Structures are given as structure tokens and as C-alpha cells.
Chain A
Amino acid sequence: MADWSYIPQVLVSGLGIGCVYGLIGIGFCVIYNASGIVNFAQGAFVMLGGMITHMLFARNGVPLPLAAVIAIAAVALLGVAIERVVVRPLWNRKATMFVMILATLAAQIVIERLTLIAVGDQPKTLPVFTDRPPLMIGGVAIGFQLIWIVGGSIAIVGLLAAFFSLTKTGKAMRACSINREAAALQGIPVSRMLALAFALSAALGAFAGILITPTQYTAFNVGVPFAISGFIAAIVGGFGRPFGAFLGGLLLGLLQALAIVGFGAGLKNVAALSVLLLFLFIRPSGILGAAK
């Protein structure tokens, strides 16, 4: 049976991965709020964030911060490209929700396979951002990468909050999420907001991918598990509530860490998916939503 003395240590690392799930969950919400679409290609952004940074840094010697910025910009552009090439034509044709899901899932597979062809199937990693021994706090080791992950995530969440409440563009996006037709009547360019939502969501995913890659690894096929965890985070938080999604991500990260201690690492995805099913069946509106 498991050794429970590891619990505090395990919870700390669960918190780190939880922040990443939370960021991915926010990415889902940003697109969903702007358009009512659930973008199943979200995982591709996470994978490409880590992958492009690795390619620039390890193969071409670009300094890590610069590589990260370039990767985030490139993935944001890719988000816009997916919106233009895949989502927009279906959107114009008023395709059903299901067709939209299938098309974005297919886009995920296409990006995955292109990555496989371009860089091969070997896992890639990045160095930790600050290479120093971990801090010891009450017998719990806290690595500097964890501090980067938690700090970076909280900073991004704060920036997003400021963006949505202070800037005109952010307010316009919120108006779209409340009522698209009314927003259009106010002169808000709804379709441009959709493209912007994809760019923002892709950048968030890429950022999450870059943060987590030094502690794990990245490979062409890590996207779907990350996307599903992010989706679970969004569901747990009440779909469409970005900050609920972040909270949901933290909860999921902690639960998953406990599941690893209790049942072994192999079943961590089963545990996460079971949380999803439980929430879907019992409380689909999430912890923050009103019970229906």
C-alpha cells in the first residue's frame, strides 16, 4: 500500500500540474465564451508550446526566454489559422455543435501527425528555468520550476482578469459571451472577437505547455491528455467561467496526485476521467454553477 508520508510532497506537485490544467481550462472557456464552440484542438497548442520552444532552444540555440516568446506568438498565429481554415467555414454554414467538435478533433490529429513527421516520436524536454537546488520548507521540497509554474500561472490569471475588466477589447469579448447578437448591434466586430479568442486561447495553451515541459517532457501525442484534463478543469469549475476553470484545475491536480499515491501512476488518467464522469452525471454545472 502507499506510503502516506509523501502526501504533502505529492500535494505540492499536484498543485503545480493543477495550475497548468487550470490555464488550459481557461483556454477552453475563452473560446467557448466568444463563440459557444468547444475547441478540441486545445491540446495541440499545449504540445506545440513546449515543442517549438524546444526546437528553437535546443536545436537552434535561441535563448530560452526569447524561444518561449516566439513559440507563444507562433502558436497564437496557429490558433488564428485554425479559426480561419477550419472553424470559420463551418461557422458560416451554421454547422452543428457536433460537426464543430469533430472538425477540431480532426485538426488536433492533423497537427499531431505533422509534428510527428517533422520532429519524430522521441520525447523532448526543456531545462528548468532556474537551475538551483529546491527549497526545503518543513520537509517538503519545492523546486524552482514549481515556483515558476505557480507564479507564472497566477500572473497570467491576474493579467487576464485585468484584460477582461479594464480594456475595451476585453469588455467587448465579455459582451460577446453574454449575447452575441446584442454585442453585434453595439458595433462589436463579433467575428474578429472569435479570431482573437482563438489567438488568446492558443497563447494560453502554449504558455502552459512551456511551463510544464521542464518537469515532464513533450512529445507529439501529449496534447489530447492535456486537453482532456483542461476540459475537466473547465467542467469542474462550471463551463464558461475562466476563474472557476483555474480553481477546477487546481482541484483536479490535487486529486490526481492523491490518485497516483493511492492507485499508482498508471491510473492517473482513469482517475481524472472518473472525476469528469462524476461531475457530468451529478453536477454538470460545476462547483461554482447553480445546481440544476
Chain B
Amino acid sequence: MTISPAITSPERRPLRLAGLLPWLFAVLVVGYAMVVGGYAATVVSFALIYAVFVTGLNLFMGFAAQVSFGQNAFAAIGGYLSAVLTATYGWSPLPAMALGIAAAVLTAAIVGYPALRLKGHYLAMGTLAIGLITYEITVEWQSVTQGYMGISGIPPFGIGPYEITSDRGQLVLLSLVVAASLFAAARIRRSRFGRALSAVAGSEEAAVALGIDVARYKLAAFLLSAGFAALAGSLFVHVVGFVSPEVFGLHMVIVTFTMLYVGGIGTVVGPLVGALIVSLLPETFRAFKDYQDLAYGAALILLLIYAPRGLASLFSPRGRS
């Protein structure tokens, strides 16, 4: 294990054009969708929502090298609270979203405190169980979630009478949210907190020896990651206007891990690039809808074997850790 770049002293590098390529790709794709609008805008909107989720996943897994297969639970909590409060109780979206995120982070704190003491397979299975329990509850708690029927009629974002209903409007909003998320991730990575996380990722024993409170930092990364997941879940329900249990099922786990690995785990821009590529590719093969999860699974296996650091890290040497 080499020392992560984030804890070595930062040296000025000459501006690398190659490092800008993933950003350029992302801007071009979003810009194209903005100009064309319509269906392309919808596809890219979904990709941007996923990018928020994967950014959170990346904080916990890429920066701190922990494992969670249950982040979909927090997306479900954020999404469903947003949906129920707005569609059933007539709240406006912003406070509903805020409460959804708060509830998800609180849940993460309650389950994370015991769960994060686990290691390896136990942590993986424990978090997978949390995701599956949440899924089952969204199916079974029909009086609130309406089970498989799902909740429809969720209002779009807006303040007072001003609602963002157009494809382009939503795309602009989501682009701003993603930009803010990535900016936050970049800042976190270089902060004292981010350096502590990469020390934990390198070796927990060494991190303890450096005086880092490993358990606290892990929990903090988990809560942040849950917050991003809930934000993504809430964004999804308000953009689509509908939510059902499948949205946050095991499919989401596989797709988001594929995105994380395609983009490059541990990089800042990786989640965005991965989300865009993984969302756009199936659109070019629309005729093979049944084969999508098959393709995700197979692609994930191939990536893990042949390009474990993802595609974006091929461009960005800073991403290697």
C-alpha cells in the first residue's frame, strides 16, 4: 500500500490537461442535454441524481475505504419522507427534503454506531441487511408507502408559487446541486477531516497511532454519506413525481457500485463521470432492456478484474491511491 497522495505534502504540479478531460466530458454531456432538452435532458437528470448518491458512497468507500451495501436505505428514507410529506400532507418540497435528510442521518447514526464496529464481511452483510430491511418496510407498510403501487403526484421543486417543471429547469437545478456536492467532496478530501479519512483508509492501526479517533471519523464519514444518499433520494422523487420500492432496491446498489468503479473510486470527479457513462450507455442499447442489469453485472466483474481503479483514474494521476 503506497501512501495516499492526500497525506503527503501537496506539491505544485504543472497543470495537467489530461486531468481536465473527465470534467470536460461531464460539462459537454450536460451542456448537450441542456441544448437538446426533452428525452436527453431526462436521462442526464437521472445521471446527475445518481452522481449525488455516488459522491456520498465515494466519501465512505473511496476516501475512508469502508464498506456499505446499504446506502440505498438512506436514499429510501429521504425519498419516501419527501414523498409522503409533500404528496400526502401537503408540505412544500424544501422542508420535506430537509426533514428527510435529517431523518436519514439520524437513522445512520443509530445503526452506524453499532454497525461500524464490525469489520469485513460482517460490516458488508450488516449494511446489506439494513438496505434490505428498509426495502421490505417500504413494501409492507402500505398505509404510508402504498406498497408496490407507489406514491404518485409528488410536486416538483419550487418556492411558493414558483415551481421548476421544465426539463431544462430541473437540469440546471441538478447541475448546481452536483457542482456543490463535488465542490464539497473536493474540499473534504483536502481538509483535516479528509486527510484523517485517508489515513484510516491506509491503515487503521497507523491512524490510531497518529492520534486519530478512528471510530468517530468512520461514523462521521458514514453520516455524510447517508446525507448525500438522502439528498439524492429526495431529488429523485421530486424530479420524477413518483416513487415505488423498486427505485431504492438491490438494483440501485449494483448500479451505483458500477458507477463508482467505472468513474474511479476515491477520485472527486469519478462519481459524476461514472454516473453519466453508466446512465448513457444503456440508452444507446435501448432495444436490449432486459439485458441491462446483466450488462451492469458483467461490466462490474470485468472492471473489478481488469481496471480496479476505474476509467477516470486512467486520466488523473491524483486519483491513484
Where the two chains meet, the residues of A that have a C-beta atom closer than 8 Å to any C-beta of B are 38, 86, 89-90, 93, 95, 97-99, 101-103, 105-110, 112-114, 116-117, 224, 228, 231, 235, 239, 266-267, 269-270, 273-274, 276-277, 280-281, 284
Contacts and interface: CB of A to CB of B under 8 A. Distances in A.
Contacts of B125: 38, 231, 235, 276, 280
Given A269-B132, A274-B133, A277-B130, A113 B122 contact: no
B45 to A, nearest CB: 25
B122 A95 contact: no
Q: Which 7 A-B residue pairs are closest in the complex by CB-CB distance? A: A113-B294, A109-B297, A110-B297, A281-B114, A106-B297, A106-B300, A273-B129
B176 interface: no
B304 A280 contact: no
Interface of B: 61, 67, 69, 111, 114-115, 117-118, 120-122, 124-126, 128-130, 132-133, 136-137, 139-140, 250, 254, 257, 290-291, 293-294, 296-298, 300-301, 304-305, 308
B291 to A, nearest CB: 7
Looking at chain B's contact residues, the main secondary structure is: helix
A114 B140 contact: no
A278 to B, nearest CB: 10
A109 B293 contact: yes
A138 B129 CA distance: 38
Contacts of A239: 121
A107 B129 CA distance: 19
- Which secondary structure dominates chain A's binding surface? helix
B297 A280 contact: no
A19 to B, nearest CB: 22
Given A113-B291, A113-B293, A116-B290, A267 B140 contact: yes
B301 A107 contact: yes
Contacts of A108: 297
Nearest to B128: A228
Given A97-B121, A98-B124, A277-B129, 11 more contacts: A38-B124, A98-B61, A108-B297, A110-B294, A112-B293, A113-B290, A224-B250, A269-B133, A269-B136, A273-B129, A281-B115
Contacts of A106: 254, 296-298, 300-301, 304
B238 to A, nearest CB: 28
